[in-house]
Chain A
Amino acid sequence: MSLTAKDKSIVKAFWGKASSKADDIGAEAFGRMLTVYPQTKTYFASWSDLSPGSAAVKKHGRTIMGGIAEAVGHIDDLTGGLASLSELHAFKLRVDPANFKILAHNLIVVLALFFPADFTPEVHMAVDKFFQNVAWALSEKYR
């Protein structure tokens, strides 16, 4: 389900509103993912504090949102733009791609929570498609 021109403009417009809260969004979404889907904690077994709001969770939330910002900037060529991130996830982190969907869901919950009026069904659809395409680009180098 590739991104139409309309999807891209909706995503960019919404990101314009949401990006000022990027750090909070990232920390919330990542913290919620670890709480609601505990199997995702397996990728962070070496971390001492995985509770929502911990310094490590906040920091990693920022890292994730940096990747999202990168993706918005390369929305016309996600595979090219996210190539090195894909290599990182494929060869070093080896995150099962099923988890991208889980993180996307939690990002969407947080976006809905922070922007209840702006996160209309139409925006939700465009953002959902965007995250799906980002996940696809991130999985590119896996095999």
Chain B
Amino acid sequence: MVEWTQEERVIIKEIFSKLNYEDVGPKSLCRILVVYPWTQRYFAHFGNLYNPEMILANPKIANHGVVVFRGLEMAVQNMDNIKNTYANLSKLHSEKLHVDPDNFQLLADCITIVIATKMRSAFTPEKQATWYKFLSVVVSALSKQYF
């Protein structure tokens, strides 16, 4: 059972409130597809992923980046129950999408980097620690329904 301090809740909600999903979503997804190109295996049906410029211009990738952040928003709104909130999403990723759960950590890292470029020095070590805790819980919950 994850315990959140009041301070941690405030930090997570504050970081989220400043995010423009249409901006950070596509950027995060583009980053994982470029930095860890094997992740493109899950998006072969999205069309042109030939190079970084094409990936960033791809409207399906842009759309999916927003979908990812709307998914994260569910966790922010249910911080005391992320595991159950994500039960169906986890099954989806396991049974339908067949995503290797190691990829969740890679995307989490790319999201963190994009947020660092936005917040810069406002992304203090303490905020980074809280953000890392939040994403670790998300990654764990998404990996729960795999067998």
Q: Determine if chain A interacts with chain B.
A: yes
Binding site for B on A (CB under 8 A): 31-32, 35-36, 52, 105, 108-110, 112-114, 116, 119-122, 124-125, 128
Residues of B within 8 A of A121 (CB): 30-31, 34-35, 52
B47 to chain A, nearest CB (A): 18
Closest Cβ of chain A to B113, distance in Å, is 5
In the complex, the answer to whether A36 meets B125 with C-beta atoms within 8 Å is yes
0/1 interface trace, chain B 121-138, chain A, CB 8 Å (1 if under): 101011011001000000
Interface of A is mostly: helix
Cα(A122)–Cα(B31), bound, Å = 8
Contacts of A112 in B (CB 8 A): 113-114, 116-117
Distance in angstroms between the alpha carbons of A102 and B105 in the assembled complex: 13
- Residues on the B chain within 8 Å of A52, using CB: 125
Known contacts A105-B109, A122-B52; A31 and B35 CB within 8 A of each other: no
Task: Assess A32 versus B125: contact at CB under 8 Å? Given A108-B113, A109-B112, A116-B120.
Answer: yes
Assembly CA distance A124 to B91 (angstroms): 31
For B125, give the chain A residue with the smallest CB separation: A35
- Contacts A116-B116, A116-B120 known; 18 new A-B pairs at CB < 8 A: A32-B128, A109-B113, A112-B113, A112-B114, A112-B117, A113-B116, A113-B119, A113-B123, A114-B120, A119-B113, A119-B117, A120-B52, A121-B31, A121-B52, A122-B34, A124-B113, A125-B34, A128-B35
How many Å lie between the Cα of A133 and that of B35 in the bound state?
Answer: 15
For A109, what are the chain B residues with a Cβ–Cβ distance below 8 Å? 112-113, 116, 123, 128
0/1 string, B23-56, CB within 8 A of A gives 1: 0000000110011000000000000000010000
Nearest chain B residue, comparing its CB with the CB of A38: B129
- Which residues of chain B are within 8 angstroms of A116 by Cβ–Cβ distance? 116-118, 120
Please give the distance in Å from A54's CB to the nearest CB on chain B.
12
Let me know if B129 and A35 touch, CB within 8 A. yes
Q: Once bound together, how far apart are the Cα atoms of A121 and B65, in whole Å?
A: 15
The residue that A36 contacts in the complex, of B34, B35, B114, B132, with Cβ under 8 A, is: B132
